[in-house]
Amino acid sequence: MKRVFSGVQPTGNLHLGNYLGALKQFVELQEDHECIYCIVDMHAITVPQDPKVLKTHILDVASLYLAVGVDPKKSIVFVQSDVPGHAELSWVLTCCSYTGELSRMTQFKSKSHNKESAPTGLFSYPVLMAADILLYDTDVVPVGTDQKQHIELCRDLATRVNNTRKKTFVVPEGRYLKEGARIMALDDPTQKMSKSAENIHSRISLLDDPAKIKKSIMKATTDSEGVIRFDQENKPGISNLMNIYSVLSGKSIAELEKEYDGRGYGDFKKDLVEVTVEALAPIKERFDEIRYSDDLIRILKDGAARANVIAEKTMARVKENFGLGL
Instruction: Just list the catalytic residues.
Output: 111, 192, 195
Instruction: Pick the binder of ligand TRP from 59, 66, 68, 129 (CB under 6 A).
Output: 129
Contacts 24+ apart (CB under 8 A), 219-227: 219/186, 219/187, 220/186, 220/187, 220/269, 221/186, 221/187, 221/188, 221/189, 222/265, 226/264, 226/265
The verdict on 43 binding ligand TRP (CB under 6 A) reads yes
Q: Which stretch binds ligand TRP (CB under 6 A): 94-102, 142-150, 285-293, 308-316?
A: 142-150
Closest CA to 186 of 203, 210, 207: 203
Q: Which stretch binds ligand TRP (CB under 6 A): 3-11, 71-79, 287-295, 312-320?
A: 3-11
Strand partners, 42: none
Task: Name the DSSP letter for residue 191.
Answer: S
Nearer to ligand AMP, 143 or 207 (CB): 143
Closest CA to 215 of 199, 232, 195, 191: 199
Which 140-159 positions form the footprint of ligand AMP (CB under 6 A)? 143-144, 146-147
Which 76-105 positions form the footprint of ligand AMP (CB under 6 A)? none
Task: Name the DSSP letter for residue 186.
Answer: S
The verdict on 205 binding ligand AMP (CB under 6 A) reads no
Nearer to ligand AMP, 5 or 265 (CB): 5
- Contact at 8 Å (CB) between 38 and 306? no
Q: Minimum Å distance from CB 150 to ligand AMP? A: 9
Q: Minimum Å distance from CB 116 to ligand AMP? A: 25
Closest CA to 158 of 125, 133, 122: 133
Instruction: Pick the binder of ligand TRP from 61, 66, 133, 206 (CB under 6 A).
Output: 133
Name the binder of 277 from ligand TRP, ligand AMP, none, CB < 5-8 A by kind: none
Which 22-41 positions form the footprint of ligand TRP (CB under 6 A)? 40
* Cα angle value 299/305/308 (rounded, 5°): 135
Strands of the 34-39 sheet, one edge to the other: 76-79, 34-39, 3-8, 140-142, 173-175
SS3 205: strand
What CA–CA distance (Å, rounded) separates 7 from 24? 13
What CA–CA distance (Å, rounded) separates 74 from 120? 36
What CA–CA distance (Å, rounded) separates 239 from 233? 9
Nearer to ligand TRP, 275 or 300 (CB): 300
Nearer to ligand AMP, 46 or 314 (CB): 46
The verdict on 22 binding ligand AMP (CB under 6 A) reads yes
Nearer to ligand AMP, 146 or 271 (CB): 146
Q: Minimum Å distance from CB 193 to ligand AMP? A: 4
Instruction: Pick the binder of ligand TRP from 30, 147, 216, 239 (CB under 6 A).
Output: 147
Q: What is the number of alpha carbons within 13 Å of residue 91 lying toward its C-beta? A: 8
Torsions phi, psi for 4 (to 5 deg): -115, 140
Name the site residues for ligand TRP (rule: CB under 6 A): 5-7, 9, 40, 43, 129, 132-133, 141, 143, 147, 150
Name the site residues for ligand AMP (rule: CB under 6 A): 8-9, 17-18, 21-22, 143-144, 146-147, 182-183, 192-193, 195
